[in-house]
Amino acid sequence: MPLETLRKLFKRDLEKLKFEISSYQHEDKIWITDKNISNCSGNLCLHLIGNLKAFIGNELGQIAYVRQRELEFSQKDIQKNTLLREIDKTIEIIEITLKNMTPIDLEKEYPQLVFKEKMTTGYFLTHLATHLSYHLGQINYHRRLLDN
């Protein structure tokens, strides 16, 4: 997958994440769960931000970030504007990182062993894009179901 395609997909979906979070009419609803919904939109948003800043920004872009994954799912009641600013920072980090990569970088082995086997950077970036899309769909559904 070409770098430009990945860059556009990450930007598109992170802009959509901003739209979803900003579309909550009742800010407190970002942080609620329901019977069969174990992760609220706020925590999924934090998870996506942490995931992308760590695996793309820190690992590939050498942009300092210390991930605290457990907080991505335990922190609550962060203001909507703070989440939106963090999404913007994530967009910027991904833009800078992918802009500085070459097609050859996509064929290189990803520096961390994330799953049980080695993979190329291009494969892992594709995984991260689909992971973002997956949780984005959950956030959209959460908002439509619980923000009433």
Residue spans of the domains in the chain: they are 3-146
Q: How far apart are CA 127 and CA 31, in angstroms?
A: 26
What are 98-133's pLDDT values in tens digits?
Answer: 999 999 999 999 999 999 999 999 999 999 999 999
Provide φ and ψ at 30, rounded to 5°.
Answer: -60, -25
Fold exhibited by the domain 3-146? Four Helix Bundle (Hemerythrin (Met), subunit A) (1.20.120)
Nearby residues of 10 by Cβ (< 8 Å), 6 or more positions away: 52, 91, 94, 98, 128, 129, 132
**pLDDT value at residue 148:** 83
Mean residue pLDDT of the chain comes to: 96
Residues 6+ away with beta carbon under 8 Å from 60 = 97, 101, 105, 111, 121
pTM metric for this prediction? 0.96
CB 48 within 8 A of CB 31: no
How buried is 64 (Cβ within 10 angstroms: 0-12 exposed, 13-18 middle, 19+ buried)?
exposed
| pLDDT tens digits, 36-78 | 889 999 999 999 999 999 999 999 999 999 999 999 999 999 9
- pLDDT of amino acid 35: 87
State how far the Cα of 97 lies from the Cα of 91, in Å rounded to an integer: 10
Asked whether residue 141 carries a pLDDT value surpassing 80, the answer given is yes
Q: How confident is the model at residue 1 (pLDDT cuts 50, 70, 90)?
A: low
Query: What is the sign of the dihedral through the CA atoms of 78, 81, 86 and 91?
Result: positive
Confidence at residue 101, expressed as pLDDT on a 0 to 100 scale: 98
| Cα–Cα separations (whole angstroms), residue 115 to 107, 112, 118, 120, 130 | 17, 9, 7, 12, 16
As a three-state string, the secondary structure of 44-56 is HHHHHHHHHHHHH
Look at residue 120 and give its three-state secondary structure: strand
* Tens digits of residue pLDDT in 16-38: 999 999 999 999 999 999 988 89
pLDDT at residue 109, rounded to an integer = 98
